[in-house]
Amino acid sequence: MEYKINKNGGYSVIELEGEIDLYCSPDARKVILKELKNGDDMLIDLSKVSYIDSSGIACLVEGYQVANEKKVKFALLGVSQNALNVLKLARLDNVFKIYNSIDEI
């Protein structure tokens, strides 16, 4: 898994790339929680995620829960079809705010 962090319009945008599975999700978790400490609103760009399992989803859930506690925005951006299938299957598309692009926000 690779990641990039950009700042865009007051958002901290974390772009995750590749497979987010049991082995990579601790890294994804670390990155998300570290960025949340800055107090910026957060977007997780999943457009380049080819696979995500339940441990990867748990990272997003934890990010979502921490963001709620901190009262900062937390949303998913450009979710790839594979990741979207998993999110929809678990009805998590009703939990996370999902945007196709940053212009939609």
48 vs 102, beta carbon nearer other proteins: 48
| CA atoms of 23 and 95, how far apart (whole Å) | 25
User: Of these, 18, 41, 61, 105, which contacts other proteins (CB under 8 A)?
Assistant: 61
The answer to the question of residue 57 lying near other proteins (CB under 8 A) is yes
| DSSP state letters, 41-68 | EEEEEEEEEEEE-HHHHHHHHHHHHHHH
| CA atoms of 78 and 45, how far apart (whole Å) | 6
x/- mask, other proteins, residues 5-44, rule CB under 8 A, reads -----------------x--x---x---------------
| CA atoms of 83 and 56, how far apart (whole Å) | 10
Which residues contribute to the site for other proteins (CB under 8 A)?
22, 25, 29, 50-51, 53-55, 57-65, 82, 85-86, 88-92, 94-95
